[in-house]
Amino acid sequence: MSVEITNPWTGQVDYRYNYLAGAEVEAVLARSAAAFPAWSGLLLEQRADHLRRVAVALREHRDRIAGIMSAEMGKLTREALAEIEKSAGACEYYASHAIDYLRDHAIATEASCSYVTYEPLGCVFAVMPWNFPIWQVFRFLAPGLMAGNVALLKHATNVPRCADAIAEMLDLAGIPAGVFGVLHIDNAMAAKVIADPRVHAVTLTGSEKAGRSVAATAGANLKKCVMELGGSDPFVVLDDADLDKALPIALSSRFGNAGQTCIAAKRFIVTEGIANEFVRRFVEATAKLQVGDPNDPATNLAPMVRPDLRDELHGQVQKSIAAGAKPLIGCVPGDGASHYPASILDNVKPGMPAYSEELFGPVASIIRVKDEAEAVHVANDTLFGLGASVWTKDKARGEHVARQIKAGATFVNSLVRSDVRLPFGGTKSSGFGRELAEHGIHEFMNIKTVYVD
């Protein structure tokens, strides 16, 4: 099957490729299985050297890779460059810390010797999204390779050259053939790959719908999996919040990457004592954001990735307005291929899409609440549980509220973000399992007990 890739800014088709045939997929699987024994048999220091060379390659080719990212999914050049640097940093982090994370862990028992050791599982198959086409891959790839696993990638259909660029960087770093493979395949073939006995685990970042499908296939084949799914993160503004600090973060958290981020702030839950001032200043700042060419340094809002996703977002906005939400700014599609302006809906209430659904684009929902207790209730009144932030001048109060919010991560007076030093993942319909930090490298390992009497 032939696939056309349309540039989100220009609306023009600028790349075509074909899905792999069955025999080609078989060849990739065979190379992966053949590569595992030698790769897992290397010393950790040897794998670390390879990862450090990957970081070097990413930095040397960052401008070219950033151009591919902008052309395929519309990312601003400066955001693309930051993503590449973050990915290089992840390689260096695991190269430096994996030895400690994978060290045998002695446990005192009545045995003469008992300990936990960590062994790689084999091949990890990753189904990855388009919104962070380099970083999302390295979130699983850097720890996975350092653990001694090999990896296969099914990237999102619209970012094939990003996938190929990652493979090229690993090749430049001297990582042996078969240790990492790219599979340009459709969902039906992906299900067959998951079922293949040469695949030992599955990781997915994507929508709740995709997660349910992939997790069901993995479970039916008894494959360990990690699911990082959608989010509708609350941005809780308490009555004593420092708005000078909160507002710039509100702007970047909601509208960075054109709002197409799982951990973006989406529901702005604002207590009544500060709501009017917050909303007034938020609208003023949002009005300064303009969709433009991702390669233009002056552009501060990227286009959305595809027209159909823009139209889906606008449908959610229209339904919310029809139910009583008040459009304060934007909320009307732009003229270009995938353009949507920075938008804010006020008076958002339960039952509206803007309250209960994930708005995966540059639209902020303002939910006004009476007090802290109601803010916590609304923050938790969602199927999702990925990230959250709490804004208050009282750090102890912020920590108290943070502990009450059901999410994989809650940040007090700070931008919600993934950090290679901290575990990342969600709860409820935002998925299960963890990436990054020590927890992430252990997800796809056999945590093995050794007991010597």
Give SS3 for 344.
strand
Amino acid at 16: R
Strand order in the sheet with 150-154: 180-182, 150-154, 123-127, 201-205, 224-228, 431-432
Q: What is the dihedral of CA 279, 283, 284, 289, to 10 degrees?
A: 150
For residue 134, what pLDDT band results from cuts at 50, 70 and 90?
very high
Q: Residues 91, 123, 225, 262: which is the catalytic one?
A: 262
Euclidean distance between CA atoms 323 and 342, whole angstroms: 21
Residues forming beta bridges with residue 181, ordered by sequence position: 152
For residue 153, what pLDDT band results from cuts at 50, 70 and 90?
very high
**Residue extents of the structural domains in the chain:** 2-229+428-452, 233-412
pLDDT at 401 over 90: yes
208: annotated active-site residue: no
The phi, psi pair for 104, rounded to 5°, reads -55, 140
Euclidean distance between CA atoms 374 and 401, whole angstroms: 11
Amino acid at 63: D
Quick: pLDDT tens for 77-121: 999 999 999 999 999 999 999 999 999 999 999 999 999 999 999
Q: The domain 233-412: what is its CATH number? A: 3.40.309.10
| Residue 127 near residue 204 (C-beta atoms within 8 A) | yes
Report CA-CA distances (Å) from 338 to 166, 277, 360, 390, 406: 26, 32, 13, 32, 34
| Residue 72 near residue 162 (C-beta atoms within 8 A) | yes
For residue 336, what pLDDT band results from cuts at 50, 70 and 90?
confident
Q: What is the pLDDT of residue 403?
A: 98
Q: What is the pLDDT of residue 1?
A: 79
228: annotated active-site residue: yes
Task: Tell me the average pLDDT of the chain.
Answer: 97
- Helix orientation angle between 135-147 and 77-101, rounded to the nearest 10 degrees: 20
Report CA-CA distances (Å) from 379 to 237, 267, 321, 406, 436: 11, 8, 21, 8, 25
Q: What is the pLDDT of residue 334?
A: 79
Q: Residues 79, 208, 228, 357: which is the catalytic one?
A: 228
Q: What is the mean pLDDT of residues 330-359?
A: 94
CATH 3.40.605.10 fits 2-229+428-452, yes or no: yes
Residue 95, token pair as written in the block: 């190269």
| Residue 147 near residue 176 (C-beta atoms within 8 A) | no
Euclidean distance between CA atoms 258 and 296, whole angstroms: 15
Quick: pLDDT tens for 25-45: 999 999 999 999 999 999 999
Give SS3 for 217.
helix
Q: What is the mean pLDDT of residues 351-355?
A: 98
Q: Which of 144, 163, 117 is nearest to 201 (CA)?
A: 144
N-terminal to C-terminal alpha carbon distance within the chain: 59
Euclidean distance between CA atoms 107 and 91, whole angstroms: 30
Beta strand pairing status for 105-106 and 13-18? unpaired
